[in-house]
Amino acid sequence: MATLAKMQSDDLIQKKNKEKNLKYEYKTNVNIMVSELKDELILIMMEKNERKRKIRYNMLLSEISRNTIPIRPDRHNDRIFKKARDRYPMNARKGL
């Protein structure tokens, strides 16, 4: 369900930004999308009236599509992982 909402939101964002001369393309902010979905999706599914359900879903999509982040090319920064064995050497162990 989240993937479907992201695809629809990305389509809305592309349509909105189609005529603008922007430096970057934009996509949906997934963190905000998930937080909006987890609250609203249950209410949408529990709604008995189909018309109200569609209205709520469209309002949810418009809310999600307002929160965008730019797609910046050539951003491939590797994550640096620390080695766990150096965390607490034997002579400097944490006390209980």
Quick check: 66 pLDDT over 80? Answer: yes
Q: How many CB atoms lie within 10 A of CB 77?
A: 5
- The answer to the question of residue 86 being in a domain is no
Confidence of residue 55 (pLDDT cuts 50, 70, 90): very high
Residue 76 inside a domain? The answer is: no
User: Average of pLDDT values for 9-16?
Assistant: 91
Q: Would you say residue 77 lies in a domain? A: no
What's the total number of domains in the chain? 1
Does any domain span residue 14? yes
Assigned domain for 28 exists: yes
pLDDT of 94 strictly over 90: no
Task: Identify the band that residue 90 occupies on the pLDDT scale cut at 50, 70 and 90.
Answer: low
pLDDT at res. 93: 59
Q: Quick one: which of 1, 4, 6 has its CA closest to 65?
A: 6
Angle, helices 30-46/50-66, rounded to nearest 10 degrees: 170
User: In one letter, which amino acid is 57?
Assistant: Y
Asked if residue 51 has pLDDT above 90, the reply is: yes
Residue-number span of the structural domain to which 65 is assigned: 2-71
| 51, part of any domain | yes
- Provide the CB-side half-sphere exposure for 23 (13 A, CA): 4
Note whether residue 62 is domain-resident.
yes
